[in-house]
Amino acid sequence: MNIVLNLVLFQIGWVVTVFGAGRDAWWAGPLSLLVLAAVTFRLTPWPRTDMALLCVACLTGLIVDSAYVQFGLLRFAEPVPFDGLAPIWILGMWMSFALTLNHSMRVFKPHLGMAALFGLIGGPLAYYVAGSKFAAVEMLASPWLVYGAIAVVWAVLTPVLLLLASSWLPKLDPARPRAA
């Protein structure tokens, strides 16, 4: 899949998702995920790996963002499957992010330190913009605590997810070309 196409579709999907979440249109997130997934799975040479990453990212997002709620750091725009858990729209965002790992984010695979730095800065920035510009997220604790926690989580998870993507390619899609 073309790196630029993947990046553009992800970014458009991100805006559509948080805009919708902040305006009681939670369904916009899953809809944007469907568009990205349809294009990705039509063009990817690594469908099994991308699907496995999508599932892992969904579970990871459920755990991480539910922890933010449980620890009183964040409140997300509704709906949620169950009280105290991450909302549907943000799980779609995690799955969309997973569909970038072998595509637009693959440039970070040989540079995991840069991937960690990208997560350290990009993670909190995404939550900040989602909250301050789109009203999709509300901070419930000190900004230093909230953004510090998000920064650490994303600084760790970004390279870990990229490592999973790299290690799963030869196992799940062995006859396919390797992503960088």
Number of domains in the chain: 1
What pLDDT score was predicted for residue 180?
62
Q: Residue 62 domain-assigned?
A: yes
What pLDDT score was predicted for residue 170?
81
d(CA 27, CA 32): 9
Q: Residue 177 domain-assigned?
A: no
Higher pLDDT, 12 or 77: 12
Q: Residue 178 domain-assigned?
A: no
**In the predicted model, what is the mean pLDDT of the chain?**
94
Q: Residue 138 domain-assigned?
A: yes
DSSP string, 101-169: TTTGGGGGTT-HHHHHHHHHHHHHHHHHHHHHTT-SEEE-S-HHHHHHHHHHHHHHHHHHHHHHHHHHH
Other residues' Cβ atoms within 10 Å of the Cβ of residue 172:
16
Q: Give the domain extent around 11.
A: 3-172
| β-bridge partners, 137 | 76
User: Do residues 45 and 106 lie in contact, with contact meaning Cβ atoms separated by under 8 Å?
Assistant: no
Q: Residue 179 domain-assigned?
A: no
Distance of CA 101 to the CA centre of its chain: 10
Percentage of the chain lying above the pLDDT 70 cut:
98
pLDDT, tens digit (0-9, with 9 covering 90-100), for 8-41: 999 999 999 999 999 999 999 999 999 999 999 9
What's the residue count for the chain?
A: 180
What pLDDT score was predicted for residue 78?
80
pLDDT at 79 over 90: no
User: Do residues 151 and 73 lie in contact, with contact meaning Cβ atoms separated by under 8 Å?
Assistant: no
Mean pLDDT score, 149-178 = 91
Q: Residue 44 domain-assigned?
A: yes
User: Do residues 5 and 14 lie in contact, with contact meaning Cβ atoms separated by under 8 Å?
Assistant: no
